[in-house]
A and B are shown apart, each in its own frame.
Chain A
Amino acid sequence: MAGANPENGAGGDDPSRRDFIHIAAGAAAAGAAVTIAWPLVDQMNPAGDTLALASVEFDLTKVELGQSVTIKWRGKPLFIRHRTGAEIAAAIKDDNAPMRDPQTDEVRHKPGKAEWLVLIGTCTHLGCVPTFGGGDYQGWFCPCHGSHYDTSGRIRKGPAPTNLAVPEYAFVSDTMVKVG
């Protein structure tokens, strides 16, 4: 009922909001609002200094055989495990076992580096930190809701939907990995 104001309208045609120019003006104003809304949303994404710390380099010589080291990466724990032959064998043996998130052990480590397993140390269920050496599969066990992972970090039992995630990483040299 925009311009319905008979006392004022001198002529018969009252201003219609369907007029193209009003739609264009309204659309342009809405466009401006959306344009300015984006920076206000994007500011919550990681800032430049946060991104700068998003990759770490790690010297593997510090990890003895059969040991693992937990370092902090992007605010989360990162498991770097130096696996024994027995652990690797156990993982390969189960490659064809029924699993919720089937994956072979081979795709979970870098080629020719089966002894090094690099995993993001948060349970894929709700983000708790699993402990090593517990559970039914001699891998990791999450105490929060009872998820069992094997020596390759694959989910075997419990509520977690997927295997422990493998971050993006690369060997910079034989003994040095760069994560992120």
Chain B
Amino acid sequence: MLRKGLAIAALGLALVGGPALAAGSQKEPRTVDWSFSGPFGKFDRAQLQRGFKVYREVCAACHSMNLMSFRNLGQKGGPFYDPKYPNPNDNPYVKTIAKEYEVSDIDQETGDVVKRPATPADHFPNPYPNEAAARAGNGGALPPDFSTLSKARKGGADYVYSLMTGYGTPPAGLEVPSGQYYNPYMLGDVSAFWKGEGYAPKGGFIAMPPQLTPDKVTFDDDTKSTISQQAKDVAAFMAWASEPKLEERKAFGVGAMIYLTILAGLLYVSYRRIWRNVAH
């Protein structure tokens, strides 16, 4: 049928054409087989724990995670969830982690700003007091907040993984400005710095130097601490932090799809039954 064919073709066209191409260029991120992809996906608890350790020991020195609280680590689906403590505020492991951080508070009697050990209800402390300080500490570049970063980048966890492992010797003919690093997965436009033949390479400059080195983080579960492993784990942790309700959502979704399929089937039979004697 002409009409049906056209409609389907056009719908497909629109869906393919939907995502916008960005100005500038970047290499397509490498795809990783994540445990949390697909309709039945779940986070790998051990991986989230390793990822949190990488974040804490490597990234947290510059990158804030303002929307995260310590209690989130112990909530259902989180890295340190323990079914014995349905209320994450009581989770002793989370309490211990929180106590290792200091947060600012106001002394109720004197009104002075004091430091006290954090509780599970506290947010992750920001490494910098304000944006200006963060820029000043990083050569003018602002280290982005990690709370929603994974879903704020095209490619999500694949992108984070690719970026962290994508550093290398810049192609010959590319003049990298000082204080900058070339990364093919970074969105940017390097054509003004390209002195080589043909088109400028894909990718952009990033102010963050390569961070991960083998054995930089010691994993408690004896996983071999390679750059790739660290990048994968921290990307998974960031994906969880952006979508902490992913597991709940997908589980609900599988149930909803099954229920709706049955409902549609019942309604179809009912529809056929009601219309069976009407010529139409």
Contact = CB atoms under 8 A, between A and B. Distances in A.
Classify A-B as touching or not with yes or no (CB < 8 A).
Answer: yes
Interface of A: 2-3, 5, 8-11, 13-15, 19, 21-22, 24-25, 28-29, 31-32, 35, 48-49, 51-53, 55, 62
B58 to A, nearest CB: 27
21 contacts: A3-B277, A8-B277, A8-B279, A9-B277, A15-B273, A19-B270, A21-B273, A22-B274, A24-B266, A28-B263, A28-B266, A28-B267, A29-B267, A31-B259, A32-B259, A32-B263, A35-B259, A48-B71, A48-B75, A52-B120, A53-B121
B263 to A, nearest CB: 5
A52 B121 contact: yes
Given A53-B121, A55-B89, A29 B263 contact: yes
Contacts of A19: 270, 273
Contacts of A21: 266, 269-270, 273
Contacts of A51: 87, 89
A29 B259 CA distance: 10
A52 B263 contact: no
B270 A22 contact: yes
A31 B277 CA distance: 29
B120 A15 contact: no
A176 to B, nearest CB: 13
Interface of B: 69, 71, 75, 87-89, 109, 120-121, 259-260, 262-263, 266-267, 269-270, 273-279
A131 B147 CA distance: 45
A40 to B, nearest CB: 14
B75, B109, B121, B279: most-surrounded residue (chain A CB, <10 A): B121
A8 B280 CA distance: 9
A110 to B, nearest CB: 20
A73 B269 CA distance: 56
B80 to A, nearest CB: 15
A93 B71 CA distance: 46
A29 B270 CA distance: 12
Given A10-B279, A32-B259, A48-B75, 10 more contacts: A3-B274, A8-B277, A8-B279, A15-B274, A15-B275, A15-B276, A24-B270, A28-B266, A48-B71, A51-B89
B279 A25 contact: no
A105 B24 CA distance: 75
A14 B270 contact: no
B65 to A, nearest CB: 15
Nearest 9 interchain pairs by C-beta: A25-B266, A52-B121, A25-B270, A15-B274, A28-B263, A9-B277, A10-B277, A8-B278, A25-B267
Contact of A15 (B71, B109, B277): B277
A25 B89 CA distance: 44
Nearest to A52: B121
A35 B252 CA distance: 11
A9 B278 contact: yes
Nearest to B122: A52
Contacts of B279: 8, 10
A13 B274 CA distance: 10
A88 B253 CA distance: 58
A14, A52, A53: most-surrounded residue (chain B CB, <10 A): A52
Contacts of A55: 89
A24 B271 CA distance: 12
B185 to A, nearest CB: 34
Nearest to B89: A52
Given A28-B263, A28-B266, A13 B120 contact: no
A127 to B, nearest CB: 25
B87, B121, B270: most-surrounded residue (chain A CB, <10 A): B270
A13, A15, A25, A53: most-surrounded residue (chain B CB, <10 A): A25
A97 B216 CA distance: 71
A14 B273 contact: no
A94 to B, nearest CB: 34
Contacts of B87: 51
